[in-house]
Amino acid sequence: MPELPEVQTVLNGLAEALNGIELISLKCLYPNTVRYVGLEHDEVLPDKVIGLERRGKYLILHLKRSHSLIIHLRMTGKLIIDPCSATENKHQRACFSLSDGAFLRFIDIRTFGKIVVCKSEELPLSLPKLGPEPLGKDFDVPYLQKALMRKGLPVKNALLDQKLVAGLGNIYACEILYRAKIAPQKAANTLSKKNLEQIVLHTREVLQEAIANNGTSISDFRRVDDKTGQFQNFLRVYQKAECPLGHGIKRIKQGGRSTFYCPVCQK
DNA sequence: CAATGATCCTGTCCGC
DNA sequence: TGCGGACAGGATCATT
């Protein structure tokens, strides 16, 4: 499930593959995968990609003439550069043809992923309200302290809220709390200043390590060249039986999602 | 405003 | 072997 490091990995791959490339066409191959906001289909492409941006788990492609594409991979979405035109894939939901003759395929088993096309100036209207970037300077202890002040929900659930901080998902939320030594059930507004410092520190640390390893390929995630990431080899609690110190990992449900944690290391 | 729960969707895994 | 059901979960919407 693509979270911030996986989306960044895709962006890094696309930045290389789409350098100087023109998008010739975009075919929608599954209902509602591609959505045009206040636009006609035929007024957007062909156009050149002039920049890529990531905001939380959203990937944004800026085109030269006044339009932008917002892509969200959700759980099983993949963007694959394919030099071959004849490749069959029953989970292909959309496909760009590129000016170098290759194809950029949007493959998504569970069909939750979306591509939104809008005018660049209306980008803020098509993007939801998101919290600060966890790797940016706005994500710090004073911010967290203020944002969590009135939140009585478990800290694990708080970290998954994209309006609190943009880009964390289930895997990294579990890994951050393990490294920060905080029990996932702990109410967000009861965290100590030390707790908050540890969250900020280890959020940055885990995400940077994961990006350096091209993300985590637990189920479907792939890089644009269809290779897997490597960070699944460095997970300490997610889907593990024991933590690195040999304690048994507990698995619980929070907000309908699995949380993995070490009851000995995390208090 | 805060928090919870249902919803979307399909491949995989488990028990019988 | 096959079938039903549970599970995986990001974001959105509805409800309490």
Q: Is the CB of A75 under 7 A from strand C?
A: yes
CA of A6 to C1' of B14 (A): 30
The first and second tokens of residue A6, run together, are 């996986």
Q: Are A96 and A109 in contact (CB under 8 A)?
A: no
Q: Please list the alpha-helical segments (H only) found in chain A.
A: 4-17, 123-126, 141-148, 155-160, 170-180, 193-212
One-letter amino acid for residue A238 of the chain? Y
CB within 8 Å of A188: residues ≥ 6 apart? A148, A151, A152, A153, A154, A155, A157, A158
Nearest to A10 by CA among A75, A50, A69, A57: A57
**pLDDT tens, residue by residue, A81-121:** 999 988 889 999 999 999 999 999 999 999 999 999 999 99
Output the pLDDT for position A132.
95
Min mean pLDDT across A19-28, A34-43, A137-146, A152-161 is at A34-43
Output the pLDDT for position A226.
76
Share of chain A above pLDDT 70, in %: 100
Model pTM? Answer: 0.95
Q: Is the CB of A109 under 7 A from strand B?
A: yes
From CA A265, how far away is CA A36, in angstroms rounded?
Answer: 48
Output the pLDDT for position A40.
85
Q: Is the CB of A91 under 7 A from strand B?
A: yes
More confident residue, A231 or A175: A175
C1'-nearest nucleotide to the CA of A3: C10
State the residue for tokens 């309908």. A256
Share of chain A above pLDDT 90, in %: 85
**pLDDT tens, residue by residue, A209-247:** 999 999 887 767 788 887 788 888 889 999 899 999 999
On average, the pLDDT of chain A sits at 93
Active-site residue, selected from the candidate residues A6, A57, A179, A186: A57
Task: Report phi then psi at A241, rounded to 5.
Answer: -90, -35
Q: Is the CB of A128 under 7 A from strand C?
A: yes
From CA A213, how far away is CA A79, in angstroms rounded?
Answer: 18
Question: How far from the centroid of its chain's Cα atoms is residue A116's Cα?
Answer: 16
Q: Are A131 and A167 in contact (CB under 8 A)?
A: no
Please state whether beta strands A22-28 and A47-55 pair in parallel, antiparallel, or not at all (unpaired). Answer: antiparallel
**pLDDT tens, residue by residue, A74-84:** 999 999 999 99
**pLDDT tens, residue by residue, A180-219:** 999 999 999 999 999 999 999 999 999 999 999 998 877 6
Cis, bond preceding A46 (omega within 30 deg of 0): yes
